Amino acid sequence: MNPYIEILRPGNVVMAMIAIVLVAIVGHTISIPIILAILAVFFEISAGNVINDYFDYKIDLINKPSRPIPSGRIGLKTARNYAYLLFLGGTICGFLISYLTNNWIPFIIVLIADVILYLYAYKLKSTPLIGNLTVGFMTGLCFTFGGFSIGTEQMIMTSTFLGFFAFVMTTAREITKDIEDIEGDKAEGARTFPILYGERLSAIITFVLIILDCALCPLLYIQHVFNIYYLIIIAIAVILFVYSAILIIRNQDTQTASKTSKYLKIGMLIAFVSFAIGSF
């Protein structure tokens, strides 16, 4: 894969873009602001991934030596400038959305995202739990951003609920990934939550977050936001989520943490499908 595409982490970027697509589907809306919102998320998440790899260069030499920067396929300075260009693209899209809708909240959200994504890569990632919460918050913010880009009160409320679901589950997955990367993080002197407070406590927090999200899932059906098909499909995701929670609470070794992280990601994709189908 071309290193300039690989460093964007296309899988993560696509998942973030899906958030806007889902909000559009749920709101039965397609418009220029929504298309711009999808592009804004593409640019912002891509920029965040690139600047993260820029600051994580030394850690990745241990944990992920095949990534574009530590492998030497992209230079440090080039990666930094690449990230800045992507941030600019996202900011321009946010401005255009606000200009077209006469609502400046989307533009403000993008500016906030610029700051948070940079600070996360520079400092927050190594701050115990705060870094994990930041990633979760940014994931959830994609849904809220989509709701505000549409602009109706109903979609703002619904997208905020979906954003909260994504925030909780993503935070759980991020803590799991910290358990997975604990050896490399220790070597670099990082102060992640598992390093400071142990894998066991980290697994307990992950378990609680997963179960919390599972308990919230039926509310979207009870409140008549989604139909019965949502309930059927989300049940599959809930089973996978619960299985993941059991895995990590039983064992916190690197292999189990990696497997748990993978299952949580698959479960979230299934949940996204349930949102789309449940809206019809």
134-155 confidence digits (pLDDT tens): 989 998 999 999 999 997 888 8
Task: Please state, for a pLDDT cut of 70, what percent of the chain lies above it.
Answer: 99
Residue ranges of alpha helices (H) inside the chain are 3-6, 10-26, 32-55, 57-63, 76-101, 105-122, 130-150, 153-180, 182-188, 193-197, 199-216, 219-222, 228-250, 254-278
Q: What is the DSSP letter of 241?
A: H
Q: Report d(CA 153, CA 141) in Å as an integer.
A: 16
Distances (CA, A) of 194 to 116, 183, 190, 201, 211: 23, 10, 10, 8, 20
Q: How does residue 235 score in pLDDT terms, banded at 50, 70 and 90?
A: very high
Q: pLDDT grade, residue 188 (50/70/90)? A: low
Count the Cβ atoms, other than its own, within 10 Å of residue 124. 17
Average pLDDT over residues 121-139: 86
CB 101 within 8 A of CB 151: yes
pTM: 0.84
**Looking at residue 64, what is its pLDDT?**
78
